[in-house]
Homo-oligomer: A and B are copies of this chain.
């Protein structure tokens, strides 16, 4: 003790005294490999000699960072909402001004700087509801069931938060696909829920097998209380698009086994492969008839961050809840009120996505041209990625039917696996780290998403501009061959 009565002391908050569930959280998409990539970028700026001149980041679905241009109409309306003085200028088309006026009228004091209702701005939720109805061929949508969110992640975490309870063998289990998007595992770890894995079938283009769902559930019931089933369609990190039949099977399974369904549908416009089509879980649920549509509980999620928009920075999104117990829904409404409201510019952007320029409006032609160009380019790059990766001996790649990712299977020589394990690294982390150091290409190892034991993968986005994507794929090819040789 010092003279002033203050203990010369250890920290109050240490790695041993902190929340243990936070320690269990892992998030590979922004994990050690990305941190190293940022260091390397800094080293390059400082003039450190490397065998490459730039880091190519294909680790995260961040379209604008990879050069995709925003939709002009969206940004015009956002500028008008930010600085309504611009409504007096002649430089903006009338439909952009009308959208901005409508959004501003719905804001407190006519300002996007006011808090909105916690569930989101009324007129935006109404527009979302109409969008869902159009998308789903007229299946009704009640705006009261729509919650605007801070990106889709916020909605997913909020729903999981409502679901989790119990201790020991009655602890809530949540079924997630493996490979998965690590937001799910991170949220479940933080909430102390049980992660229940079901494996996607890599041989059948990452489809969902009913028998695997049954195995997974039966296994889980021995040690926890599985209450929810999460699906990502189109798939992240696996890029598959589920067939209507598969969705139907999953809904029947959820109904039979009493599971709350969570459908992550943020890539709903990202469908590239011929013969593939996006089917929303909600639409299929209603097509199965009232026995299902009146009973099965479903939350579905969408976002401004993906599709042709790629507006990740605005953190816009929504969720729709169906057949939720009214008492629980009241709790949900209360829970979201604590964080006051989702960012209003993101809500405005979500509105524009669900209420885009219509035929006859001045911005329609440009909007459609920009939208189509972006989606066509993504479709091309999906094809290119699959084709080139499949020319590499030791790399096998399913078609990128949708979303923004390829998740190829990589054969790793025994010797490299041993060396990785000696370093305490997952073998595909060892591989990706070496790839980064030698080529400047930043991918995420499959181990960050989960995979069948003894298989190895990486996730890469198809987002880099075509010329860079070609360089990237050529470098991966060369590296893989060299790596295989080196460790054989």
Seen from chain A, the residues whose Cβ lies within 8 Å of a Cβ on chain B are 2, 4-9, 11-15, 17-20, 22-23, 25-27, 29-31, 38, 60, 62-68, 70, 75-76, 78-80, 82-83, 85-86, 89, 91, 107-109, 111-118, 150-151, 153-154, 157, 161-165, 183, 186-187, 190, 227-228, 252, 255-256, 258-260, 291-292, 295, 297, 309-315, 323-325, 327-328, 331, 334-335, 337-346
Are A113 and B331 in touch, CB under 8 angstroms? no
Are B291 and A338 in touch, CB under 8 angstroms? no
**The one of B38, B67, B79, B183 that contacts A83, using a Cβ cutoff of 8 Å:** B79
**The one of B67, B256, B344 that contacts A6, using a Cβ cutoff of 8 Å:** B256
- List 27 interface pairs A-B (beta carbons < 8 Å), by A numbering: A7-B258, A8-B295, A12-B227, A12-B259, A12-B260, A13-B227, A15-B328, A18-B163, A19-B161, A19-B163, A22-B161, A27-B334, A27-B337, A30-B118, A62-B115, A64-B109, A68-B109, A75-B82, A75-B83, A111-B313, A150-B339, A151-B339, A154-B339, A157-B339, A313-B344, A315-B343, A343-B343
Are A335 and B22 in touch, CB under 8 angstroms? yes
**The one of B20, B260, B313 that contacts A13, using a Cβ cutoff of 8 Å:** B260
Closest to A154 in B: B339
In the docked arrangement, what's the CA distance between A426 and B484, Å?
72
Are A162 and B18 in touch, CB under 8 angstroms? yes
In the docked arrangement, what's the CA distance between A107 and B70, Å?
13
The minimal Cβ–Cβ distance linking A323 to chain B, given in whole angstroms, is: 7
In the docked arrangement, what's the CA distance between A122 and B59, Å?
20
In the docked arrangement, what's the CA distance between A11 and B261, Å?
12
Are B162 and A22 in touch, CB under 8 angstroms? yes
**The one of B14, B64, B297, B340 that contacts A113, using a Cβ cutoff of 8 Å:** B64
Point out the residues of chain B lying under 8 angstroms from A331, CB to CB: 15, 18, 22-23
In the docked arrangement, what's the CA distance between A465 and B104, Å?
20
Closest to A76 in B: B83
Are A83 and B89 in touch, CB under 8 angstroms? no
Besides the contacts A13-B162, A65-B109, what 10 more A-B pairs have beta carbons closer than 8 Å?
A15-B328, A25-B334, A25-B335, A62-B108, A76-B83, A78-B83, A79-B80, A312-B340, A313-B345, A314-B344
